[in-house]
Amino acid sequence: MKTIFEKKGLSGINLTDEKIDLSFIRSDLQRKSPIGLPNVGELEAMRHYKALSDMNFCIEKGFYPLGSCTMKYNPKVNELLASLDGFTNLHPMFDDDDCQGALELMYKLQEALKEITGMAAVSLQPAAGAHGELTGMMVIKKYFETKGDNRKKVLIPDSAHGTNPASAHLCGFDIVPVKSDEKGQICIEDLKSLLDSDVAAIMMTNPNTLGIFEEKVLEISELMHENGSLLYYDGANFNAIMGITNPKLMGFDVVHLNLHKTFSTPHGGGGPGAGPIAVTENLKEFLPSPVIDFDGKKYFRNYDIKHSIGNVKGFYGNFSVLVKAYAYILMMGKNLKEASENAVLNANYLKEKLKKAYLLPFDEPCMHEFVLSGEKQKHENGVSTLNIAKALMDENTHPPTVYFPLIVHEAIMIEPTESETKEVLDNFVDVMLKIADEAKTNPEKLLNAPHNTPVKRLDETLAARQPNLSYKDEER
């Protein structure tokens, strides 16, 4: 669709005016021929890009039940606060004396995250969840190296996020999978059989990726610590437990948090993110440097960390994301617990409404998310989970996470968050039931979905392996 009204002679700005001095640009970098931009005024150009932006899906446009991603609403006041001149005009090379406000915010965010997680110390440096995982595993590796104990194995549940084994492997660890039991939780007997003096840690998500709380987490913690091993907490699902429990009470030693998920900052499109890590007392001397400290009079960047793994990101983290997360925590206060309770309530409500139409592999009370399976629809009518996901796009709903976790065939991973009203949830139920019915009565429609989106069914494999973003004029 051609959205620009083009007319010769129109322009928003004249870049070819001979009065413009381009001598500051090296001659070999200056264009020798016309750039070929369309002849449009500023207003037409703005309308063109606004029309393009309207094609994008976002949380303000419709329901976004993307499992394990916690796509909650980001209050716009967070954006306002992060855009204040005193924050946006700061340079990271300023002396501590010249950025006391920013350092105070970071210090108080550290303190808040310490209280929320139960941990003893926090680093705000990591830029996202997987980066936080990598940083946490680097801390664990340095801890054992300092003790002269060169352990090589990390245990990973078979339901884990894919970033878990990737992060551990990047640190040089060998990955050992742990099986799930009939309740979708870690199989204790399999875990026991894998424990030896070479196991450095286990990486767990609790609740796990099935949305199920690991009931035997204290037993797991005891087994690991008796073996001299550590426990790593993947905080991707932290939205389920805020104010109810914390990783320290469960026996974990290291935890990362996704500020861009749990604490409402924007998420998606590749960033921005923030994945701070929090550690127990015996690991705080291994954190990335600097951490933000306070001596009673002045906030400062503390580089005096005895066994620090060094700097894991340029400067001190994604500062604007830290501002938004701190604003959210201040606004919520003790209501963080209520946010988690509502997230859990919403997920259980949807699960109970949908389990008769779709296969529920693990019929257990869930936390903030749950996993259905489209295996019934695929077996009976040839309608796969991918077809169901594509059909949802026609209903102003972002598809849930699909085909993950890998231990569930045709997985449909749904996380409503606490942001959504009962009316929105009921509409989603109606849509999912409608799709389940169409899988029986009109499967051909679903096999060719979506029908109403700007771009129809794509070949995902081809797009991933042979990306081609060019187009010819006749293809517009």
pLDDT at 5: 60
Q: How confident is the model at residue 406 (pLDDT cuts 50, 70, 90)?
A: very high
Give residue 11's pLDDT: 67
Residue positions counted in the chain? 476
Judge if 179 and 251 occupy the same domain: yes
Span 88-93, average pLDDT: 92
User: What dihedral angle (degrees, nearest 10) is formed by the CA atoms of 275, 159, 229, 199?
Assistant: -120
Question: Would 67 be classed as within a structural domain?
Answer: no
Instruction: Report how far residue 423's alpha carbon sits from residue 171's, in angstroms, rounded to the nearest whole number.
Output: 46
CA distances from 159 to 90, 179, 181, 240, 290 (A): 42, 8, 11, 17, 34
Task: Determine the 3-state secondary structure of 113 from DSSP.
Answer: helix
- Are 307 and 350 found together in one domain? no
Measuring CA to CA, which residue among 136, 224, 140 is closest to residue 178? 224
> Does a structural domain hold residue 64?
no
Choose the final residue of a domain: 282, 306, 334.
334
Residue 59 lies in a domain: no
The token duo for 327 is 């604003």
Cβ neighbour number for residue 440 with a 10 Å cutoff? 11
Domain that holds residue 360: 338-465
Distances (CA, A) of 216 to 187, 250, 344: 9, 10, 20
* 202 and 326 both lie in a single domain: yes
Residue 17 lies in a domain: yes
- The answer to whether residue 89 sits within a structural domain is yes
Residue 474 has pLDDT above 50, yes or no: no
- pLDDT tens-digit map of 205-254: 999 999 999 999 999 999 999 999 999 999 999 999 999 999 999 999 99
For residue 211, the number of C-alpha atoms closer than 13 Å in the C-beta half-sphere is 37
Same domain for 174 and 305, yes or no, is yes
pLDDT at 4: 56
* Pair 98, 20 in one domain: no
| Cβ-count burial 302-327 (b if 16+ within 10 Å, e if not) | eeebeebbeebbeebbbbbbbbbbbb
Q: Environment class of residue 348 by beta-carbon count within 10 Å: exposed (0-12), middle (13-18) or buried (19+)?
A: middle
* pLDDT score recorded for residue 403: 96
**356 and 420 inside one domain:** yes
What are the pLDDT digits (tens) for 165-219? Answer: 999 999 999 999 999 999 999 999 999 999 999 999 999 999 999 999 999 999 9
Residue whose pair of structure tokens reads 């549940």 in the numeric block: 157
Which CATH number do you get for residue 284? Answer: 3.40.640.10
Q: In angstroms, rounded to a whole number, what is the distance separating the alpha carbons of residues 138 and 167?
A: 9
Residue 472 is assigned to a structural domain of this protein: no
Q: Is pLDDT above 80 for 264?
A: yes
SS (H, E, C) 387-415: HHHHHHHCCCECCCEECCCCCCCCEEEEC
What six digits make up the tokens of 46? 């703005």
**The pLDDT value given to residue 39:** 80
Please choose, from the candidates 8, 1, 11, the residue with its C-alpha nearest in 3D space to the C-alpha of residue 45.
11
User: CA torsion sign, 333 to 336 to 341 to 345?
Assistant: positive
Residues 240 and 103 in one domain: yes
Q: Tell whether 421 is covered by a domain.
A: yes
Higher pLDDT, residue 437 or 456 = 437
- Look at residue 315 in the predicted model and tell me its pLDDT: 86
- Cα(209)–Cα(370) distance, rounded to whole angstroms? 8
Same domain? For 386 and 418 the reply is yes
Q: State the pLDDT at residue 476.
A: 39
Residues 322 and 206 in one domain: yes
Please say if the pLDDT value at position 103 is more than 70.
yes
The neighbour count for residue 183, using CB atoms within 10 Å, is 15
How many domains would you assign to the chain? 3
CB burial readout 87-108, b (16+ within 10 A) else e? beeeeeeeeeeebeebbebbbb
Mean pLDDT of the chain: 92
d(CA 49, CA 144): 53
Spatial neighbors of 109 by CB under 8 A, at least 6 apart, are 124, 322, 325, 326, 329
pLDDT tier at 42, thresholds 50, 70, 90: confident
Look up the pTM and report it.
Answer: 0.90
| C-alpha span between 392 and 243 (Å, rounded) | 34
pLDDT at position 1 is 44
In this structure, are strands 277-279 and 121-123 parallel, antiparallel, or unpaired? antiparallel
d(CA 177, CA 164): 11
> Final residue of a domain: which of 334, 365, 396?
334
User: What pLDDT shows up at residue 19?
Assistant: 65
Q: Do residues 155 and 196 touch, judged by C-beta distance below 8 A?
A: no
Q: Are β-strands 199-204 and 230-235 bridged in parallel, bridged antiparallel, or unpaired?
A: parallel
- Give dist(CA 207, CA 185) in Å, integer: 9
Q: What mean pLDDT comes out for the span 274-303?
A: 97
d(CA 466, CA 460): 10
- 242/245 Cα distance (integer angstroms): 7
What pLDDT is stored for residue 2 in this prediction?
A: 52
C-alpha distances out from residue 93 to 90, 303, 450, Å? 9, 15, 49
Is the pLDDT assigned to residue 455 strictly greater than 90? Answer: no
Indicate whether 12 and 124 sit together in one domain.
no
Q: Can you give the pLDDT at residue 268? A: 66
Dump pLDDT digits (tens) for 318-370: 999 999 999 999 999 999 999 999 999 999 999 999 999 999 999 999 999 99
- What is the band of 468 on the pLDDT scale with cuts at 50, 70, 90? confident
For residue 470, name the pLDDT band (cuts at 50, 70, 90).
Answer: low
Asked whether residue 320 falls in the same domain as residue 396, the answer is: no
In this structure, the answer to whether residues 343 and 204 fall within a common structural domain is no
CA-to-CA dists, residue 376 to 192, 209, 359, 415, angstroms: 35, 21, 6, 21
- Phi, psi for 144 (deg, rounded to 5): -70, -35
Please state, in angstroms and as integers, the Cα–Cα distance from residue 358 to each residue in 207, 374, 428, following that order: 22, 6, 14
